[in-house]
Each structure stands twice: as structure tokens, then as C-alpha cells.
Structure 1
Amino acid sequence: MQQRFAQQLKKGALDMLVLKLLAPEEKYGYQLISELRDQTSGQLSLKEGTLYPILYRLEDANLVKSRMGDHESREPTRKYYAITKQGRAALREMYEIWNEFDGCVKSIMERNEEL
């Protein structure tokens, strides 16, 4: 039960977190996976099969755009993702919604009643 609950919470926040990681500069998939893992001390460790559908969904919604990088010898060509202007606006809105939700949950959970 606890694992399922944790997965549902993470799933709801991943679009927002991916957009946030793209806000400073464009990145490729493995870079996003590594940064998310490193910045959360391993608490959010995504597999490629989880990340790429998120990126495709964000791209379909015009929140990110992609481009193929330059081909370098012996290395595969990477696909880079960048947040769009529309994506930045969506990120701000998602974060406001997240903060509202977080405040509501805290107001109930932090009452002086036992769990």
C-alpha cells in the first residue's frame, strides 16, 4: 500500500519536476534522469520508460520542444529538450497548484490529533 501511494504522488509531480529541470537550459534524457536522481538523493529515480512518455506528452502539449544534437564520433546522437514560453507559464501554474494542495494536506495532517 505504501509503495503504491508513493508512486501515485510521484506520478502527479513528475511533469512539473521535468519542466523545472529544463528551465535553466536544454537537456537530454539521461541528463534529466541523473539530475532528478542526484537532486533528490535517489528518492526520485526514473527509468527511461517513465521519462520519455512524459517528455513526449509535454512536447505534444507544446510545453517543451526537442532537437537532435550534433553527431559526435563514437557517440549516439542525443535528442535535447527545452522548455517553451508556454511551458514556463504552465510550470508556474503547476507550482501554484502544488503549493495550494500541499497547504491543504498540511493543514489537515498537522492538527493535534493522533495519526
Structure 2
Amino acid sequence: MSSEGLRPEIVRAGLPLVALALLVDAPGHGYALIERLREEGFERIQGGTLYPLLRRLEERGFVTHEWRHDEAGPGRKDFSITAAGREELARARAEWTRVGEAIERA
């Protein structure tokens, strides 16, 4: 999947939902999420975009974090989706489906 040609407003609207969807499978730290987002076509995503987004998602109760410390390097925040985040993702998926169907019918 390539984000080339995607308008910024589409990326802006979809990014929180894709970030939540990626956390359904497994918790992840910021850098790993950036890499996974890039694999999904969000090639221009930087930490300056993702970290404030994760903070907003956490403020809304959709994600939580836990500090992980290991001997190999500095500590890092591992983000996980919450039950409220799963509910939000389900609602958002249904809305995106309805929008896509409306576009197809138009």
C-alpha cells in the first residue's frame, strides 16, 4: 500500500484509526509503531506526528502505556489498546465502511 497521492486530510483522519488497529495485535513502542505504519503506507510519519497522537489517544482513554526497561538500552513506553479503544476502533471501522459505500454508490 502506498500513501503517494493521499491527501493530508485523509492521512490525518485515518492515522489514529490505523494506529489503534496496529495495537490490537500487540503492544508496541513508538519507533516500532512508526515502522509498522510505514509498512502500511504511511511513509511520511515521524515521531513528531505519532507521539502527540498517542498522547491524545491516551487522554481519551483509547490507549495506555507501560514503561519497559531493559539492560540493553534506555527505557521505552509500550502502548496498548484499551477496551474503550477497541470499541472506538469498531465504531470507526463501521463509519469508514459507510463512507466507502457512499463513495461507491455516488
Q: Do both share a fold (TM > 0.5)?
A: yes
Measure, in 2, the Cα distance between the counterparts of 1:22 and 1:47.
18
* Equivalent position amino acid for 1:87 in 2: G
Q: Which has the higher strand share?
A: 2
1:72 match: 71
Unaligned runs of 5+ residues in structure 1 are 109-115
Write out per-residue CA displacement over residues 32-79 of structure 1, whole angstroms, 9 at most, x where no aligned residue. 110111133xx4431001101110010000000001102323x12111
Q: TM-score, normalised by structure 2?
A: 0.89
2:26 match: 25
Measure, in 1, the Cα distance between the counterparts of 2:13 and 2:87.
18
Percent same amino acid among aligned pairs?
29
CA RMSD of superposed structures (Å)? 1.8
Residue 25 of structure 1: CA displacement?
1.1
Unaligned runs of 5+ residues in structure 2 are none
1:36 match: 37
Write out per-residue CA displacement over residues 4-56 of structure 1, whole angstroms, 9 at most, x where no aligned residue. 9711011001111000000011100010110111133xx44310011011100
Cα separation, partners in 2 of 1:24 and 1:5, compared to 1, 3 Å: closer
Secondary structure class of the residue paired with 2:38:
helix
* Equivalent position amino acid for 2:34 in 1: I
Q: How many residues align?
A: 103
Q: TM-score, normalised by structure 1?
A: 0.82
2:57 match: 58
Secondary structure class of the residue paired with 1:23:
helix
Secondary structure class of the residue paired with 2:66:
strand
Larger radius of gyration: 1
Secondary structure class of the residue paired with 1:80:
strand
Cα separation, partners in 2 of 1:98 and 1:44, compared to 1, 3 Å: farther
